[in-house]
Amino acid sequence: MKKFENKIAVITGGNSGMGYGTAKLLKELGATVIITGRRKEAIEQAAKELGVQAILSDQGKLEDIDSLVTEVTQKFGKVDILFINAGISGTSSIELETPENFDKMMNVNFRGVFFTLNKFIPYLNDGASVVILSSVLASTVSSGLAVYSASKAAINSIMKTAALELAPRKIRVNAISPGAIDTELFSKMGMDDKTLAGMTDYLISLTPIGRIGKPEEIGQLVAFLSSDEASFITGSDHTIDGGSTLL
């Protein structure tokens, strides 16, 4: 019997990067996997490649979160693994930040995460695992990323409170804080191939292990935190960064 056979796993933002890598692994381990995303074609293509279910949903919109919870619970029942992975990034100095960009990032990265958890809680099985994607930038400082860092720091605080509140139901809540991972994030920010290669080399230079991480390595950590082997782990932020925060 596979580790997650008869388990229902929901992954927000599952059509690329870390969400995609995690969906692939959880499917291989026997879970019934549902991925979400904002782009219909991208989410349907990813679901087809992975052999998983797709639901169109924008984590920045509360009505989409409501619809997601309703559809998941009506079709699949209660949830055993919830990986709240969807997020957006962007750079701006504090001086030049606009209210529109601030609200957009916080709506997805903080408000959306909070209410995804909030609305799924009644439909989590006792003993379920919730994993929230944070970032090493929640606890480190990088110029131009004040709002992004703040959104991730807020997530870590919520994660700890949720772990305490849900402990009586044996539901465990943890965060994962990646460093540099090989995803589409930088290309989505409009970098061309040359700039992208330069950024990758720069990030490798900041990582003692000598490479950037792979999306499937995030999946392996999600799988571990959602397994029986991690039944005593809750309220923890797990850094996976190749040692970059040691510098």
Residues marked active site are found at: 148
Written as one string, the DSSP assignment of 26-49 is HHHTT-EEEEEES-HHHHHHHHHH
Give every strand in the sheet of 237-240, ordered side by side.
Answer: 53-56, 32-37, 8-11, 79-84, 124-133, 172-178, 237-240
Query: Taking Cα atoms as reference points, which of 196, 244, 247, 238 lies closest to residue 217?
Result: 238
Q: Do 156 and 137 form a contact (C-beta atoms < 8 A)?
A: no
Q: What is the dihedral of CA 115, 118, 122, 127, to 10 degrees?
A: 120
* DSSP character at residue 109: I
* DSSP character at residue 5: T
